[in-house]
Amino acid sequence: MKQNDNTKNDNTIYRPKTVCGILDCSSSTLTRMVQAGSLKPPIKLGARSVGYPKSEIDAFLQMRIEERDNA
C-alpha cells in the first residue's frame, strides 16, 4: 500500500468555513442544507466546534454531479 493512498481511510475533517468555500455557499445556506437533509449534520469535535467528514462532502458533490448528468 502506498504511503499517500488517501482513498480509503481518509479521516480528514472539514470545518464549516472550509465546507462553505468548497460548496461556494454561505454558512446560513450550509445550515439550511443540513436542516433540509441534503447534508448530514456535522460531527462534534469539542464543546464548541464541529466538522464535516471529507468523505461526506465528496459523496454530496458526487451525488450532485450524477443528478446533473442524469437530468
1 band by pLDDT with thresholds 50, 70 and 90: very low
Residue 25 lies in a domain: yes
- The CA-based angle 41-38-43, given to 5 degrees, is 15
Residue 5 lies in a domain: no
Residue 7 lies in a domain: no
C-alpha cell at 4: 499517500
pLDDT digits (tens, 9 = 90+) for 5-14: 555 678 999 9
Ramachandran angles phi, psi of 31, nearest 5°: -60, -40
* Residues pairing with 52 in the sheet: 14
Query: Mean per-residue pLDDT for 19-35?
Result: 98
Range of the domain at 30: 13-69
Residue 55 lies in a domain: yes
Residue 41 lies in a domain: yes
Q: Per the structure, how many domains does the chain have?
A: 1
Q: How far apart are CA 61 and CA 9, in angstroms?
A: 19
C-alpha cell at 33: 442544507
pLDDT digits (tens, 9 = 90+) for 30-71: 999 999 999 999 999 999 999 999 999 999 999 999 999 998
Query: Mean per-residue pLDDT for 7-31?
Result: 93
